Amino acid sequence: MFRYRISNAFRNHFSTSERSLPRMTPDYKSKKMSRLPLAMIAFGLLILMLFVLLPDSPIRLSGICKVGEDGSVVPTKVAEGLLSGADGMYSVEESGNNVVLLSGCVGKGVCGPFESGLFVGHEGSPVRAEFCGKHAVRLLISGVEVFRLTQAGLDERAGEVQERIKWVYCAGVLWCCFWLVLQVIAVSRARSESK
């Protein structure tokens, strides 16, 4: 008698829970699948809007650092000494055991402003590095200038960034078009199945 009541209770529970579940009919599947392309189109449009909202104003050298009358940057800090490097990190040790990181990263967010390719093969050479705040201004290795921050260099970098943004726009438009075509296919299939 007790066993009969338990088995009936389980049977009643499973029979009602099965009734409450939605059946996966072709119409239900097509409605569910037609939401995915719309979500992907919205995602693509959101990414495109973020790139549209990026500031497009050109970077002026005078906005970064103080510029002299001749147009060159006035450095606020100078580090001189011998270049030392290990594991892709390059630094210069000044007198008084003061170490200035020139390239590479130590820990989170502590990175040198110069590109590491400028220092390869020059370990032990005398170095003069000039800075303006956290920006690299000028670099001399063994008396030879290998880097100088100029307005022309900033304009060139800004042009490279604009080219990358154009590629992102093209990829975003293709992404949206692809999912739009899938949406049209899903809607047309749903209509043909409903007839």
Please tell me the predicted confidence (pLDDT) of residue 155. 81
**Using N-to-C axis directions, what is the helix angle for 151-194 and 26-52, rounded to 10°?**
160
Please tell me the predicted confidence (pLDDT) of residue 33. 55
In the predicted model, is pLDDT for residue 117 greater than 60?
yes
User: b/e per residue, 167-190, with b = 16+ CB within 10 A?
Assistant: eeeeebeebbeebeebbeebeeeb
Structure confidence at residue 57 as a pLDDT band (50, 70, 90): low
Structure confidence at residue 12 as a pLDDT band (50, 70, 90): low
Please tell me the predicted confidence (pLDDT) of residue 17. 46
pTM confidence score: 0.55
Structure confidence at residue 58 as a pLDDT band (50, 70, 90): low
Could you report how far apart the first and last alpha carbons of the chain are, in Å?
53
User: b/e per residue, 135-146, with b = 16+ CB within 10 A?
Assistant: ebbbbbbeeeeb
In which region does residue 124 sit, left (phi positive, over 0), alpha (psi from -120 to 50) or beta (all else)?
A: left
Cβ-based burial of 9 (10 A; exposed 0-12, middle 13-18, buried ≥19): exposed
In the predicted model, is pLDDT for residue 128 greater than 50?
yes
In the predicted model, is pLDDT for residue 159 greater than 60?
yes
Which range, 10-14, 18-22, 104-108, has the best average confidence (pLDDT)? 104-108
**Residue, of 129 and 68, whose pLDDT is higher:** 129
175-190 pLDDT tens trace: 888 888 887 887 787 7
In the predicted model, is pLDDT for residue 2 greater than 50?
no
Q: Out of 55-64, 67-76, 107-116, 155-164, pick the least confident.
A: 55-64
List of residues 6+ apart from 51 with CB closer than 8 A: 165, 168, 169, 172
Coil, strand, or helix at residue 191?
Answer: helix
81-100 pLDDT tens trace: 888 888 778 888 877 778 88
In the predicted model, is pLDDT for residue 18 greater than 50?
no
Location of structure tokens 């020059």 = 122
